[in-house]
Amino acid sequence: MLEHVLLLTIWAISACGAPSPSGLGGRFHIDQVHNRNARRNGPVEYAFAHAKYHAPIPKGLSKTMAAIKKVNINAGNATGEVPSWPQELDIEYLSPIMVGEPAQMVWMNLDTGSSDTWMYASTTGEGHKGDQKFYAPEVSKTSTHVPNTSWWIEYGDGTYASGDVWKDTLSIGDVEIKNMTIQTALMASVAMVTDVNMSGLAGLCPNHPSTVMPSQPTLLEKLEPVLDEFVFAADLRYQDTGRFRFGHVPKSDYEGEIHWARMNKTSKFWQFDINSVHVGGTNILLQSTWSFIADTGTTLMLLPMDLTKMYYDQVPGAEYNEWYDSYTFPCNETKNLPSWDFQIAGLNGTVPGHYIAYTNVTEKLCYGGIQPWSAETYGFGILGDVFLKAVYAVFDVQNKTVGFANKKVRA
């Protein structure tokens, strides 16, 4: 699944403590804890986003990815709170979730850009899983196999996972979801297997059906009768503890008011419009309507070319690098990067410049957290974690709206 999983070594996080349940029925939150030992790889994240949305990977980036793969192959020898450990620095967030009776803990990636809930299992074939914690349905007293049902996920870069389907109890903190659809992997590509921490993925996409055939209820559909309010929020943080909250959105989590944007009626994703964009420190302002999706499973901000170019035109020495098919800039400009200011449904918000300084690609060359995307072709741009760390994002499933509020951000 995740292209960056193939290329970057993921280390188990042993310093973090166990989750401590607390809270009220029908609402819970999942904390996120920053992994300071992990690494970033901008081109890998950019390629993964293309693969996830079945977009052709640009020629230069494709060659770069092939070279990186070759190097790695040759070197390859309701109620409760649960901590979540991000992998690869700020890139991937894992949450411990319990499955079955007696409870088995698995580490899941919460993804608002997907609807599948799948995990490695005892039935996963040899060579198709690594040392991840996995689900063993045969030892659960509450598991039931769903006959004549299967699933298959394939990404644009050729990575895949597939398998069969079970029903079992899924527990997050003290919240129990009975007869949850559990997609167990019988096969998975090498790119997934090399992620030594991730047990699977929990999809939170609203209108996109899962890949299970015949169709089965998704995680959001099963959460609806359990939650006090059919809503969840993502409070991601820059190099700091963040949080997913389900069932309730307290005012203490954010500043001011939540501004609500109506979801695109025909979209399968959390899609909404941005009304204006301004690059900090300049008088350049574009007023138009751009459509975006909020995706916790994508790292970068992927913008239409006009917005991307407008930003990097304000960064001395920044250029479009044909080797990566991406924008890079001199690392000595990192502390001077302008902010990316926006307006959504009347909310004026800011992504600080240092959030956009994503990572080094060489000693002197840095990779930007804003990159171009063919929004005209795909109908939307993608606002991933670089953007979401700067806002409080609320996903209202019941009312089909996405809300944004300001919050204190890390300087």
Count of domains observed in the chain:
2
Angle between helices 59-75 and 42-52 (to 10 degrees): 110
Same domain for 181 and 262? no
Cα(391)–Cα(39) distance, integer angstroms:
24
Same domain for 281 and 323? yes
92 close to 40: Cβ distance less than 8 angstroms: no
Same domain for 38 and 102? yes
Between 32 and 105, name the one with better pLDDT: 105
pLDDT(147) > 50: yes
Same domain for 352 and 220? no
Choosing from 245, 268, 298, the residue where a domain stops is 245
Give the pLDDT band of residue 409 (cuts 50, 70, 90). confident
Cis bond before residue 58 (omega within 30° of 0)? no
Which stretches of 59-99 are DSSP H helices? Answer: 59-75
Structure tokens at 288: 């138009």
Give the pLDDT band of residue 8 (cuts 50, 70, 90). very low
54 close to 114: Cβ distance less than 8 angstroms: no
Q: Which residue type sits at 61?
A: L
93 close to 109: Cβ distance less than 8 angstroms: yes
What is the domain-level CATH number for residue 297? 2.40.70.10
In a domain, 251, yes or no: no
Mean pLDDT score across all residues of the chain = 83
In a domain, 252, yes or no: no
Between the CA atoms of 210, 214, 220 and 226, what dihedral angle is there, to the nearest 10 degrees? Answer: -160
Which residues span the domain enclosing 194? 3-245
Choosing from 211, 245, 279, the residue where a domain stops is 245
Give me the sign of the Cα torsion angle 47, 49, 51, 56: negative
pLDDT(9) > 70: no
In a domain, 411, yes or no: no
Give the pLDDT band of residue 49 (cuts 50, 70, 90). confident
In a domain, 198, yes or no: yes
Q: What is the enclosing helix (H) or strand (E) of 278?
A: strand 271-279
Give the pLDDT band of residue 161 (cuts 50, 70, 90). confident
Same domain for 203 and 342? no
155 close to 113: Cβ distance less than 8 angstroms: no
pLDDT(13) > 70: no
Same domain for 48 and 98? yes
Choosing from 225, 245, 265, the residue where a domain stops is 245
Same domain for 47 and 165? yes
Same domain for 384 and 341? yes
367 close to 328: Cβ distance less than 8 angstroms: yes
* 8-state DSSP, 211: S
Those residues with Cβ within 8 angstroms of residue 252's Cβ, 6 or more apart along the chain or in another chain: none
Cα(246)–Cα(248) distance, integer angstroms:
6
Mean pLDDT of 125-131: 74
pLDDT tens string 327-336 = 999 999 999 9
Same domain for 307 and 376? yes
In a domain, 205, yes or no: yes
Same domain for 134 and 44? yes
Same domain for 183 and 282? no
In a domain, 100, yes or no: yes
User: In terms of DSSP bridges, do strands 28-32 and 81-82 run parallel, antiparallel, or are they unpaired?
Assistant: parallel
Q: Per mean pLDDT, which range of 133-142, 283-292, 305-314 is the poorest?
A: 283-292
Active site (catalytic) residues: 111, 295
Mean pLDDT of 110-130: 87
pLDDT(80) > 50: no
* pLDDT for the residue 231: 97
Same domain for 241 and 263? no
pLDDT(73) > 60: no
Query: pTM for this structure?
Result: 0.84
In a domain, 391, yes or no: yes
